[in-house]
Amino acid sequence: MAVLGNDRAVPVAATRRARLLGLALLRRSAVTGLLIPRCRAVHTVGMRFRLDLHFLDARGLALSVRHRVPPGRFVREPAARSVLELPSEEGTSR
């Protein structure tokens, strides 16, 4: 688990399977978020809701944030070292 600045804990995608699946196929109500280390790009294939993607540098500081990314997209940030996936406040069910 990783703890964010607001004391919110999110799981860390430590295995290859966890990294591949991310938050796909989960229901929004079951999701707190996911930290994917050593990552520069993510997909939203199989997602049931929109994501806010926080691309982080080596110190864990945000390089860029992509808000309300819908299902079926591929997003990358070449300078990122990890990605924090969070359910968008304006998420959509599928």
Does 94 have pLDDT greater than 60? no
- Residue 5: predicted pLDDT: 67
- The radius of gyration of the chain from alpha carbons, rounded to an integer in Å, stands at 12
Does 71 have pLDDT greater than 70? yes
Q: Residue ranges per domain, the chain?
A: 2-87
Q: Are 52 and 68 in contact (CB under 8 A)?
A: yes
Q: What is the pTM of this model?
A: 0.82
pLDDT-based confidence at residue 86 (cuts at 50, 70, 90): very high
- Residue 83: predicted pLDDT: 95
- Residue 23: predicted pLDDT: 78
Nearest to 50 by CA among 85, 84, 76: 85
Which amino acid is it at 43? Answer: H
Task: Give the pLDDT confidence of 23-52 residue by residue, as tens digits.
Answer: 776 767 667 889 999 999 999 988 889 999
- Residue 91: predicted pLDDT: 43
Does 6 have pLDDT greater than 90? no
